[in-house]
Amino acid sequence: MPSTLITGIGTLVTNDPAYGTGPVGLLADAAVVIDGDTVAWVGPAAEAPAADERVDAAGRALLPGFVDSHAHLVFAGDRTAEFNARMSGQSYSAGGIRTTVAATRAAADAELDANLARLVREALRQGTTLVECKSGYGLTVEDESRALRIASSYTPETTYLGAHVVAPEFADDPAGYVELVTGPMLDACAPYARWVDVFCEKGAFDGDQARAILTAGTARGLTPRVHANQLTYGPGVQLAVELGAASADHCTHLTDEDVAALAGSSTVATLLPGAEFSTRAVYPDARRLLDAGAVVALSTDCNPGSSFTSSMAFCIAVAVREMGMTPDEALWSATAGGARALRRSDVGAVMVGARADLQLLDAPSHVHLAYRPGVPLTAAVWRAGVREV
Ligand SMILES: [Zn+2]
C-alpha cells in the first residue's frame, strides 16, 4: 500500500499532549503521514517527509475517527410510530424493545446483515471509524448467537446483550431467563463476543440478576460493561465499578456516591445524549462527572427505539450545548474517550504507531462540530489507512 502525506492541515487534533497544546493536543499547520494501516509521522507541515501520495487539506481540520463505543445495530423493523407517539406525549419504557425483538427474530440473516452494513457505512460517512455492536434483539440462544456472528464480521467490538430485557416467553419466569442467559445462551454467544452487557434498570434486570449475568460472562472470558442508571437511580454504576467493567453507560441519574465511585475507578462513564434527546428526557450531567475526575466517553446508543442516530457529531453538539462539556472535552470523549471505554490504545488519537483512523472536516477547527450543529462536515475518512470517504 502506498504511503500518503496529508499536509496543509489547519488544525490537527492529536489527543496526545506530547504533540500539541491543550487537552486535545492541538497542532497548527500540521502534516500526517499514513503508511499501511498506521500513522507513521506527525508534525509541522514544514518538516514533513515525502510520501508516495499527497493530500492537501487546504487549511481544514484533521481529527481522529470517532469511536462509537455503544450501539445496537443488529435488528430489523421500524419504530417510527412509537417515536411519533412519544413525541405526542407518551413516556418511554424498556418494554418497547420487544417490538424490535419480534421483527428481528422474523428476519432472514441476509436482511440483518444488510441493515447492519448500511448503518456501519452511514456512520463511516460521518467520521466513525470504529463502532461497538451489541446483540439483544434476539433473546433466544439461536437469535442472540446469530446477531453476534453477523456483527463480528463488521467489528471486533461485539457485545453479548442477551440481558437486554426478559424474553417474552419468560415474562412469568425471569429467574428462568437469567438461567438461560448465564447458561446455554452464553455458551453459544461467547465465541463471537468480546464483551458482556446487561440492562440494569427497573423493568429489565435488577442488581442481583445483573451481577449473576456479568459474573457468568466474566467466567467465560468476556469483559463487562453495563447499561446503568438511565431511567432512574439504581445499583448499575456501583456494580459496574465493583466488577471492573470497562464502562458504565448512560449514567443519567447518579448519586454523589455513584460519581465518586466512577471517579475513583477505571470504569469509563459513557454518556449517550441521543437517548435523552429522543425520549425527551433530562440529559446526564457531564460537567459533574468531569469535575469529579471521571473519564467520560460520548456515544450514539444507535438503536431503533430510543436513539436512532449514528451521528457522533450530533452527540458532540448536544453534549456541548446541554451537558456542560467544552468543545475540546466533547471531541476527546467521542474519540479517545470511546477508545478508553473499549480498552483500545491503538485508536482515538493521531500519533505515531496508532491505527490510521482519521477524518478531515470541511471546517478549520473541530469546534465547528458543535458550532455548526446538524451540518454534514465530514470531507474525508481513512479507516486503518484506507480512504473510505
Ligand atoms: Zn444501549
> What's the pLDDT score for residue 92?
60
CA of 131 to the centre of ligand 1 (A): 13
For residues 47-61, b (16+ Cβ closer than 10 Å) or e, as one string?
Answer: ebeebeeebebeebb
> What's the pLDDT score for residue 293?
98
Rounded CA separation 357/65 (Å): 5
Lookup: cell for 319: 453534549
Strand partners, 383: 386
CA of 164 to the centre of ligand 1 (A): 9
Kindly report the three-state secondary structure assignment for every residue of the chain. Answer: CCCEEEEEEEEEECCCCCCCECCCCEEEEEEEEEECCEEEEEEEHHHCCCCCEEEECCCCEEEECEEECCECCCCCCCCHHHHHHHCCCCCCCHHHHHHHHHHHHHCCHHHHHHHHHHHHHHHHHCCEEEECEECCCCCCHHHHHHHHHHHCCCCCCEEEEEECCCCHHHCCCHHHHHHHHHCHHHHHHHHHCCEEEEEECCCCECHHHHHHHHHHHHHCCCEEEEEECCCCCCCHHHHHHHCCCCEEEECCCCCHHHHHHHHCCCCEEEECHHHHHHHCCCCCCHHHHHHHCCCEEECCCEECCCECCCCHHHHHHHHHHHCCCCHHHHHHHHHHHHHHHCCCCCCCCCCCCCECCEEEECCCCCCHHHHCCCCCCEEEEEECCEECC
CA of 200 to the centre of ligand 1 (A): 11
Rounded CA separation 333/338 (Å): 6
pLDDT, one tens digit per residue, over 239-277 is 999 999 999 999 999 999 999 999 999 999 999 999 999
- Whether pTM > 0.75 for this model: the answer is yes
CA of 53 to the centre of ligand 1 (A): 41
Rounded CA separation 95/102 (Å): 12
Nearest to 73 by CA among 42, 113, 102: 113
Rounded CA separation 284/28 (Å): 33
CA of 261 to the centre of ligand 1 (A): 21
Residues around ligand 1, an ion, CB closer than 5 A: 301
CA of 256 to the centre of ligand 1 (A): 23
Rounded CA separation 69/156 (Å): 12
CA of 231 to the centre of ligand 1 (A): 12
Residue 388 main-chain phi, psi, to 5 deg: -105, -25
CA of 16 to the centre of ligand 1 (A): 29
CA of 300 to the centre of ligand 1 (A): 9
CA of 153 to the centre of ligand 1 (A): 20
Rounded CA separation 229/206 (Å): 11
Cα-trace Rg, the chain: 20
> What's the pLDDT score for residue 94?
55
pLDDT, one tens digit per residue, over 73-112 is 999 998 998 899 889 988 766 557 888 999 999 999 999 9
Residue ranges of the chain whose pLDDT lies below 50: none
CA of 247 to the centre of ligand 1 (A): 12
CA of 33 to the centre of ligand 1 (A): 36
CA of 227 to the centre of ligand 1 (A): 6
Rounded CA separation 172/192 (Å): 29
CA of 303 to the centre of ligand 1 (A): 7
Q: Which residue has the cell 500519533?
A: 351
CA of 386 to the centre of ligand 1 (A): 29
Lookup: cell for 84: 411519533
CA of 70 to the centre of ligand 1 (A): 6
In sequence order, which residues have a C-beta less than 8 Å from that of residue 316 and are 6 or more positions away?
A: 298, 327, 330, 331, 334, 369, 370
CA of 293 to the centre of ligand 1 (A): 24
CA of 226 to the centre of ligand 1 (A): 9
